[in-house]
Amino acid sequence: MHQVNWDNLRYVFMVANKGSIAAAARVLGVNRTTVLRRINAFQDSLNCRIFVRSESGYVLTPEAEKMINAAREVENTLFDMQREIVGRELKLEGEVRATTTDSFVVSLLGPHLASFQKKHPYIVVNLLSSNSVLDLNRRDADVAIRPTKSPDPNLIGHRLCDLEFGVYAAPDFINHQDKDNIFNLNWVGLDDSFAGTQILNWYRSEIKPESVTMRCDSFVTLKVAAENGLGLALLPHFLGDSSDKLIRLDAPTEELTTGLWILTHPDLVRSARVHAFISHFTEALSV
């Protein structure tokens, strides 16, 4: 009887969830070759085909779907047990896995991470800075600090503050341009890793594709590109206003205002170290 390689199986899960090798690789933080190698190893170990290619992406074969769904149920049971165990821990020590974006790390979180470490020297923060949205239900992280208009109803947390956006440019760039219609100028934009977000939808509705000189997978990279005169950029105020190389332009962006949330799974609220982390950053970031 073949044994299931659970490490390879998580790559299968991710491709099945995301529908593509590239999307799965981004979430897992590896390259496409690694994902393909893991998928092929899993198929070879079972001597059966797991996926078929279609116009919409990678789809589980009918034979594989039943097996994968059963494996998901087993994995979900293990995750539930793991969360319950962590949730019962009462000591202010151990690891807290927190996920947030690189923009918040660069502009907001540094001093508060330092003060948290001084307050709780036996808690180690494992900070996962990525624009990919990790799944707290599957224990990809314990706590998330994320912008969102509609948090996952299976999670609990607090809305910390509003995040507002604006259009920014380097003075040398904008001073040599016709400012009557900034939407006809060159822009630096976001790539498909932001697919489904209100920000990318705004870019696609307001900016002509031929006006985009560069695409980025991070607001931090977007800021650097704008600072060096590659074009206009849509940035959160906390990031754009902190730059002495950018000016904010008058542009209608109120519709993009969203909430900054700190979130965790209900099973983890009883964990002393998770509770300490949430309390500290709720107090530090709430407005």
Supply the CATH number for residue 78's domain.
1.10.10.10
Task: Name the token pair of 203.
Answer: 């870019």
Average pLDDT over residues 185-193: 89
User: Quick one: CA dihedral 118, 115, 150, 205, positive or negative?
Assistant: negative
Q: What is the CATH number of the domain that holds 180?
A: 3.40.190.10
Decide which of 39, 67, 86 is a domain's last residue.
86
Task: Decide if pLDDT at 13 tops 90.
Answer: no
Task: Decide if pLDDT at 29 tops 90.
Answer: no
Which pLDDT band holds residue 233 (cuts at 50, 70, 90)? Answer: very high
- Amino acid identity, residue 41? A
Assess if residue 237 is contained within a domain. yes
- CB under 8 Å to 280, separation ≥6 — which residues? 112, 115, 116, 119, 120
Residues 100-138 have pLDDT tens digits of: 988 898 888 999 999 999 999 999 999 988 777 777 877
Q: Which domain holds residue 223?
A: 165-256
pTM tops 0.95: no
**Inter-CA distances, 65 with 49, 50, 123, Å:** 11, 8, 41
Length of the chain: 287
Which pLDDT band holds residue 163 (cuts at 50, 70, 90)? Answer: very high
Assess if residue 138 is contained within a domain. yes
Residues 79-95 have pLDDT tens digits of: 777 766 665 566 788 89
Cβ-count burial of 210 within 10 angstroms (0-12 exposed, 13-18 middle, 19+ buried)? exposed
Assess if residue 1 is contained within a domain. no
